[in-house]
């Protein structure tokens, strides 16, 4: 039987070189730290933001996260639903430009551990670029330094792709800011 790659099970992983304890919720606290490049925060909208996952074996894996600490998809307000989906579109465009994958997985784990997620009380959409064979994209990496450099390189490539999109501003420091549409 073929092995099935399960991108939904890849959750945000704390950086080994950043031993911060998150007091409440990583997805609530990361944007408040205003340390976007260090935190791999790529783009900020009004009600949601785009975060590059920390998972070392697929550095292109991004998440679109509403600012509101909400776990039930049914509880998202209409403007948040719209902006999350617009940010998914922008993320796909940026990945097309910067990473040129063969395809994507896009979706949610809802309900926490039972659905394969680990942070079930703050929902977030996964955007996972896929390559034919996948194993060719990133060799198995060992060592913290190499892993961090791989993710940082991917961050810079995606950031540049976001920054050239229409309707965004790219501040000298921090994530790309997406103007309301
Ligand atoms: Zn939260």
Instruction: Kindly tell me the sign of the dihedral angle through the C-alpha atoms of 90, 96, 98, 104.
Output: positive
Domains of the chain, by residue range, sit at 25-164
pLDDT reported for residue 58: 67
Q: What is the mean pLDDT of the chain?
A: 81
Ligand 1 midpoint to CA 144 (Å): 27
- Enter the CATH code of domain 25-164: 3.30.428.10
Q: Which of 115, 110, 144, 130 is nearest to 62 (CA)?
A: 130
Q: How far apart are CA 141 and CA 9, in angstroms?
A: 19
From the candidates 61, 122, 124, 126, which is the catalytic residue? 124
Give the distance (Å) from ligand 1 centre to CA of residue 28: 4
Task: Report the predicted TM-score, pTM, of the whole model to 2 decimal places.
Answer: 0.84
Bridge partners, 109 (sequence order): none
Q: What per-residue confidence (pLDDT) applies to 148?
A: 60
How far does residue 21's CA lie from ligand 1's centre (Å)? 14
Determine whether 69 is an active site residue.
no
Reported as a pLDDT band with limits 50, 70 and 90, residue 111 is confident
Ligand 1 center to residue 149 CA distance, Å?
Answer: 27
pLDDT over 90 percentage in the chain: 51
pLDDT tens profile 151-173: 888 999 999 999 999 999 999 88
Residue-level pLDDT at 180: 80
Distance from Cα 29 to the centre of ligand 1, integer Å:
7
pLDDT, tens digit, 9 for 90 and up, residues 125-135: 999 888 876 65
């Amino acid at each position: 039987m073929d092995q099935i790659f399960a991108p939904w099970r890849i959750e945000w992983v704390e950086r080994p070189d950043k031993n911060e304890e998150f007091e409440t919720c990583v997805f609530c606290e990361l944007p408040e730290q205003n340390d976007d490049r260090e935190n791999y925060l790529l783009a900020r909208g009004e009600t949601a933001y785009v975060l590059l996952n920390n998972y070392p074996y697929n550095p292109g894996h991004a998440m679109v996260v509403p600012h509101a600490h909400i776990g039930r998809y049914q509880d998202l307000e209409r403007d948040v639903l719209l902006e999350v989906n617009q940010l998914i579109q922008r993320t796909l465009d940026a990945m097309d430009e910067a990473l040129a994958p063969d395809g994507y997985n896009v979706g949610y784990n809802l309900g926490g551990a039972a659905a394969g997620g680990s942070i079930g009380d703050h929902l977030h959409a996964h955007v996972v670029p896929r390559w034919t064979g996948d194993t060719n994209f990133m060799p198995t990496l060992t060592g913290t330094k190499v892993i961090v450099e791989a993710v940082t390189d991917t961050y810079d490539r995606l950031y540049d792709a976001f920054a050239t999109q229409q309707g965004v501003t790219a501040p000298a420091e921090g994530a790309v800011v997406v103007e309301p549409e």
